[in-house]
Amino acid sequence: MALNGKTVSVKELIGEIYASHKYTYNLPWQDAIAWAAQAIELIGAPKSLSNQIERIEISNYRGMLPCNLHSITQAAGSYNGCSPFAMRSTTNTFGAVASCDSAELTTLIELFNSESSTTTTEPIGEDISGNPVYTFQNGNMSMPETTSDNPSSNSSSNTTYNVSDNFIFTSFASGYVYLAFKALPIDDEGFPLIPDNRRFKEAVKAYIVSKIDYILWRSKELDKDVFERSEREWLWYVASAGTVARVPSYDEAQSLLNAQRLISQKYSHNSFFTNLGA
Give the H/E segment covering residue 252. Answer: helix 250-259
Closest CA to 83 of 142, 146, 174: 146
Answering whether pTM is above 0.75, one says no
179 and 210 fall within a common domain: no
Listed in order, strand segments (DSSP E) in the chain are: 7-9, 50-58, 62-64, 69-78, 85-86, 88-89, 125-126, 132-136, 139-142, 160-164, 167-170, 175-183, 193-195
Asked if the structure places residue 29 within a domain, the reply is yes
212 and 92 fall within a common domain: no
Q: Domain containing 90: what range?
A: 50-183
Asked if the structure places residue 127 within a domain, the reply is yes
CA 164, CA 24: separation in Å to the nearest integer?
43
210 and 155 fall within a common domain: no
Asked if the structure places residue 59 within a domain, the reply is yes
- 19-62 residue pLDDT tens: 888 888 887 878 888 888 888 888 877 667 788 889 999 998 89
Q: What is the DSSP letter of 182?
A: E
115 and 139 fall within a common domain: yes
Out of 157, 183, 209, pick the residue that ends a domain. 183
Q: What is the count of structural domains for the chain?
A: 2
Closest CA to 25 of 230, 193, 201: 230
172 and 56 fall within a common domain: yes
Out of 183, 202, 220, pick the residue that ends a domain. 183
Asked if the structure places residue 271 within a domain, the reply is no
114 and 173 fall within a common domain: yes
pLDDT-derived band at 155 (thresholds 50, 70, 90) equals very low
Residue 86: Cβ within 10 Å count: 22
- 193-233 residue pLDDT tens: 888 888 888 999 999 999 999 999 999 998 999 999 999 99
